[in-house]
Structures are given as C-alpha cells and as structure tokens.
Structure 1
C-alpha cells in the first residue's frame, strides 16, 4: 500500500484509546486518511448517533469495540456478565451502522470494518460469553455485508487472536513465561502478530483496493495448531 492509499478518506474509529484503536489511528493517518477518533462510551444507546453526527462525513466506519474477556465457566455465567458484554460489543454495532448508512447511501458508497475476534470461529474454553458476543458481530457483518454490497458499501470483519494490543495482551501477560510457552505451543508463528501488521491490513480493507470483499471475516492470528 502507498502512503496515500487512503487520501481523502474520513475514517471514524470507535473506542480509539482501547484495543487496536491507538495503532489503527496512527497507521491510518500514515496512509493519508483523516482519522476521527472517538473516546466516548458506546454503551449509551444514544452515543453512536451522537458520535457520527459530531464526526461529520464518514467514509469509513472502523468499529473497534472491546471489553476485557470474561473467563467464567459456562455454568457460572451471570446475567450481568452476559448483558454487559453484549452491551459493549454487540448492541453498539447496529446503532453505528444505522447512523453512518444514510450518508454512505447518499454518497453512493462507503466501508464498515469491524475489529472482531477469532473466538467467533473456534471453540475456546471458559469464553462462552465473549465468544457469543464476537460471534454475534460476525453474523451481523455477514448478513449486512451481502445486503449492502449492491449499494457499493463493503462491510467486513477482522477475526483476530494473538495480536499485540493492550486490552488482551498487556505487557505483564506477554512477559509471563507461561504465556511465552503457550505462544510456542499454539501459534505456528511463535509470536504475537504485531499491532502495526494488523492495522496495516485494516488500512488495506479500508482502501478502494478492497472493494471486492463483502461480508467476509479475515482471520489474523498467526496461524493455529489444531488441537
């Protein structure tokens, strides 16, 4: 990708201070985009419409939604845990999409990219709540992606795991010898995917070069060892 591949694109990044937000903003700007970072709480039902209105023209919505992943056994998951996780990662998504769609339809195109998780693609122990929420994101993207394709609006998702970010892999986890052994055991790459590697792929999916992809989930996880 050239440094000007996103020139003229106005990209709204949600939860810009969390998960992949900081690196996304940095890399997108390097590729020429005008980045509109939002740090607002997205669990307020009225927040997405308010954020989009304040952003002005949005050519690309980058839905970066995350909460620390609960690790509760399925039999012990509380109603509060379930509701809170969906309120943070699932409920805001259609609200953001509905807020940006009128402008994209009027201009005849746009892109929506969700920073999701590979937990939606593979069973993981003690992750039923988190995986269900990420799976809901994926199903929504697949359905809306094919619905909006004819409108020249591309909706896709990055299904990532073992990607360097402060929400799920802070320094204290990365420095833990047990985690380092886990990387060697479970990830053929033998390391976390770099944050900039992931963000550069996101930048590509935000560019005109990726107009052919609709309703897709792209795994970014350094490869898995099947167990």
Structure 2
C-alpha cells in the first residue's frame, strides 16, 4: 500500500512565515519531510526563485505558497498599481519557480508541485476583483501545466481554500467579531473555520506517494463555502 507519509522527501516551502506557511512547515515535518523553508516575498527580484531552488538542492516537493492580504477595492477604483502588485506577488513567481525546479524533477521522472491557492477564484465576492483575478490565473496555470507534466511523472495540483484558519486573514480579532461569527453561520455550511492542521494534512496527502493519480486538479477546502 502506498504511504501517505513523507519520510525522506525534500520539500521546498516558499513564504514560510505567512498565510499557511507555519502550519505547512509543522505538518510536513511531522509527516517526516525535510522542509527547506524560505521566508522571503517573491515580488521584487525575478531571479530570486531560481536562486532559492538552486540553494535548496534536491526538491522532491515544491509547495507554491504565495501570500498577500487581499485588497478590498471597489471595481471602479482598482488602479494599475494595485493590479500589478497583486499579480507580482501571487502570479509572476509561479512560472519562475516551476521552471527552476522542472529540470531535476524531469531527470528523475518524479515530483510533486502543489499550489496553495484560494477559493476566491471559484466563487465571486464583492470588492475582490484584483485578488480573485490573480488567484484565478494561478488555478488556470495549474490546470494547463499539470497536463504537460503528467507524462514526466510529475503531479501538479492545487488546493483552493477559504475560511481556513490562518493569521493572514483570520486573526484573533477577526474571529472574535460577532459579525464574522454570524457570517460563518450564514455562509459556511461547516459552521466554523477549517483548521490550519486539517488543511495542511490534506496538502501533505496530495504530496505523498499515495496521491499519484491527480493531474492538474483543483481541490476546494472551504467548509462547503465554495460548493454553494
């Protein structure tokens, strides 16, 4: 039986201090992986992704973890600066990281690439035009490139999450707000936030040997919000 453990796997995690980074780091280490955690944002230097991959050495799993607090801008007020900033953080680093890691994965004819994306790309929300567009571009990239990589033994998939407990979007002050608690009850069938560990555990499964049959797929994790 194929294992859901990650013993001996070398995992490269980007932006490891933000969003889901701490939970992914802790969970993947508990599953036996050796995690190379890089904390730096990837919006400024286009050469940094290549440098990060080269410094990591062998990468069995690439966790495309790119974080930016979502702007809340009315559609008519989204300017070029906001649009370019959001795409520079969330979209532009993806092909650079993938291109950097592919030669070694193709040479071994195996590897996992997992995007930690957003369900904002699956269901519309007001005042999230730039963010939802960037998150949608991420998922489209995964679906297209995942098809290319499957024949090389590389699985490229994505988690599309929302209402998952993390410090970037759902800090203690937000969770304590009665209006937010009412929103959870109204909009999330689960009735609560998905825990960070639940989300990270599923990410671990998708990167394990047991999950070798998924090709360019998007897995919503949102307590049912994205399914409504």
Describe the shift of the 1:4–1:202 C-alpha distance in structure 2 as closer, same or farther (beyond 3 A). closer
Structure 1 unaligned runs (5+)?
A: none
Runs of 5+ consecutive residues of structure 2 not aligned to the other structure: none
Alignment of 1:22-171 (within 5 A): 22-43=22-43, 44-171=45-172
Q: Hey, what's the Cα distance between the residues in 1 that align with 2:108 and 2:53?
A: 16
- How far the C-alpha of 1:3 sits from its partner, in A, is 9.3
Distance in 1, matches of 2:202 and 2:185, equals 24
Where in structure 1 do 4 or more consecutive aligned residues deviate above 2 Å? 224-227
Check the 8 A contact 1:65/1:115 in 2, yes or no: yes
Contact 2:3/2:208, CA 8 A, preserved across alignment: no
Cα RMSD, aligned residues only: 1.6
Distance 1:110 1:79, change over 3 A: same
Aligned equivalents of 1:31, 1:207: Cα separation in 2: 10
Corresponding residue of 1:191: 192
User: Are the counterparts in 2 of residues 63 and 112 from structure 1 also a CA contact under 8 Å?
Assistant: yes
Which segment drifts farther, 180-189 or 38-47? 38-47
Contact 1:3 1:31 in 2 (8 A): no
Question: What is the alpha-carbon distance in structure 2 between the residues aligned to residue 4 and residue 41 of structure 1?
Answer: 30
TM-score for both structures, normalised by structure 2: 0.96
- Number of the residue aligned with 1:216: 217
In structure 2, C-alpha distance between the alignment counterparts of 1:89 and 1:41, rounded to whole Å:
10
1:44-66 Cα offsets, whole Å, 9 max, x none, are 21110010011110000001101
Alpha-carbon separation, structure 1, partners of 2:138 and 2:48 = 18
CA apart distance, 1:225:
8.1
